[in-house]
Amino acid sequence: MAPSAVQKFRPVVISGPSGTGKSTLLKRLFAEYPDTFGFSISHTTRAPRAGEKDGREYNFTTKEGFLDLVAQNGFIEHAQFGGNHYGTSVQAVKNIAEKERICILDIEMEGVKQVKKTDLNARFLFLAPPSLEELEKRLRGRGTETEDSLQKRLAQAHNELEYSKQEGAHDKIVVNDDLEKAYVELRDWVVDGGRFGASQ
Ligand SMILES: Nc1ncnc2c1ncn2[C@@H]1O[C@H](COP(=O)(O)OP(=O)(O)OP(=O)(O)O)[C@@H](O)[C@H]1O
């Protein structure tokens, strides 16, 4: 039987505390490997803004449609912001594999646990900071956080680090100390000699 798209184009889940450097490293990976990766398109109940197209920026949906999909366990993760629902559906991730691209999911711990319950056959990489002190320095240096949001992120970072120590939580852990070294380690694991984790 031919392997399904998600078996061949296995999604890669990158998690790690906010500020560890996920965006920085992914940006480099996408630049070095254009047309290889993709992000899934999220669902939202908010109205499209001018210029936004259904199925491109978001899958725009009604509240009823959204809640139906929640009831069917169709979402990997979903949340409410400002009165609107947002979510990443399992199908949206599969659609990337159908397009013969590797879907990258940049999600947090609860999302990681949800992905494990699906048939997505994903690979899990955890990006760890060298220490919580260094993470705090980077978050402050980025200049995007208030004191309150910084403290929340650090508390969540502690939880993520504890989870990452559990047997089988992740397939690969990369410590982002020296950026260059971390990039090479992440890239080599993701690319996997051109196999991208597929067994055939
Ligand atoms: N190895 C490194 N050494 C020093 N600074 C780094 C390193 N990697 C990333 N940074 C810096 O740390 C800050 C946080 O990085 P980045 O925004 O990529 O984190 P993130 O994990 O994507 O965070 P979020 O989940 O909040 O989006 C940035 O200012 C980035 O330039």
Mutate to test the pocket of ligand 1, among 24, 144, 174 (most ligand atoms within 8 A of CB): 24
Q: Report whether residue 176 contacts ligand 1, using a CB cutoff of 6 Å.
A: yes
Q: What is the ipTM of this complex?
A: 0.91
73: CA distance to ligand 1 center in Å?
32
User: Domain for residue 180, yes or no?
Assistant: yes
| Mean pLDDT on 147-166 | 94
| Mean pLDDT on 20-31 | 96
Backbone angles phi, psi at 4, to 5 degrees: -70, 160
Confidence band of 91 (pLDDT split at 50, 70, 90):
very high
40 pLDDT exceeds 80? Answer: yes
Q: Report whether residue 143 contacts ligand 1, using a CB cutoff of 6 Å.
A: no
Mention every residue, 6+ apart, whose C-beta is less than 8 A from residue 30: 36, 37
- Number of folded domains in the chain? 1
Rounded mean pLDDT of the chain? Answer: 95
User: Domain for residue 150, yes or no?
Assistant: yes
Q: Report whether residue 38 contacts ligand 1, using a CB cutoff of 6 Å.
A: no
Q: Report whether residue 181 contacts ligand 1, using a CB cutoff of 6 Å.
A: no
CA 93 to chain centroid, in Å, comes to 11
Q: Report whether residue 21 contacts ligand 1, using a CB cutoff of 6 Å.
A: yes
User: Domain for residue 199, yes or no?
Assistant: no
Confidence band of 156 (pLDDT split at 50, 70, 90):
very high
Closest CA to 59 of 72, 78, 45, 49: 45
Query: Is pTM, for the whole model, over 0.80?
Result: yes
CATH classification of the domain holding 172: 3.40.50.300
115-136 pLDDT tens trace: 999 999 999 999 999 999 999 9
Domain span holding position 127: 6-194
